[in-house]
């Protein structure tokens, strides 16, 4: 249970800063206000953002319950997490966050927030490639290598059978 509290605490900080505070600052700085009416962009944006949030939260819970750790680099999972959303892609938490940001950008029809989303995805890519994957290889060795062979980094494999 304590691992869930740790995961939720770190996630609240991460989500609060990257997915709430940052976008609010971007929107405020760009002078973007809440849309007066909800049209197709707002409805689609809400759907995309909701899917993103759901994927990110599912990923965080999987880290806590399966991996016995948190998304924080200083408190990583004790076991390699290859269940839940990690069966489909190796980085579902970042993809979920990116979808939540992109959906919010669509909702507000905000180019500055879309640029923020792009910056987030670029920073995430660099973090994953330059730090996270190396750390996982050192920690989990051949088990992680086999996982990399089965599951893509960002896009799921669709197999027709």
- The predicted-structure confidence for 19-44, as pLDDT tens digits, reads as follows 888 888 998 888 888 888 889 999 99
| pLDDT higher than 70, residue 126 | yes
4 or 120, which is more confident: 120
Q: How high is the pLDDT of residue 32?
A: 86
Give the Cα-Cα-Cα angle 74, 68, 78 (nearest 5 degrees). 60
Q: How high is the pLDDT of residue 14?
A: 77
The pTM of this model reads 0.88
The count of other CB atoms within 10 Å of the CB of residue 66 is 17
Q: Rounded CA gap, 102 and 83, in Å?
A: 25
Render pLDDT for 74-115 as a digit per residue (tens, 0 to 9).
778 889 999 999 999 999 999 999 999 999 999 999 999 999
* Element holding 103 (H helix, E strand): helix 92-108
Confidence band of 161 (pLDDT split at 50, 70, 90): low
Q: Which residues contact 128 (CB under 8 A, 6 or more apart)?
A: 91, 94, 153
């Amino acid at each position: 249970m304590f691992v869930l509290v740790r995961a939720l605490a770190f996630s609240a900080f991460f989500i609060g800063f990257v997915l709430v505070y940052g976008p609010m600052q971007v929107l405020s700085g760009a002078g973007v206000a809440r849309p007066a009416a909800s049209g197709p962009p707002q409805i689609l944006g809400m759907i995309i953002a909701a899917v993103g949030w759901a994927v990110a939260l599912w990923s965080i819970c999987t880290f806590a319950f399966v991996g016995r750790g948190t998304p924080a680099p200083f408190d990583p999972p004790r076991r390699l997490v290859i269940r839940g959303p990690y069966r489909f892609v190796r980085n579902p938490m970042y993809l979920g966050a990116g979808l939540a940001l992109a959906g919010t950008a669509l909702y507000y029809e905000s180019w500055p927030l879309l640029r923020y989303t792009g910056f987030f995805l670029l920073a995430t890519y660099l973090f994953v490639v330059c730090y996270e994957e190396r750390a996982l290889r050192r920690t989990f060795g051949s088990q992680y290598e086999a996982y990399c062979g089965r599951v893509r980094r960002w896009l799921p494999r669709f197999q027709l059978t």
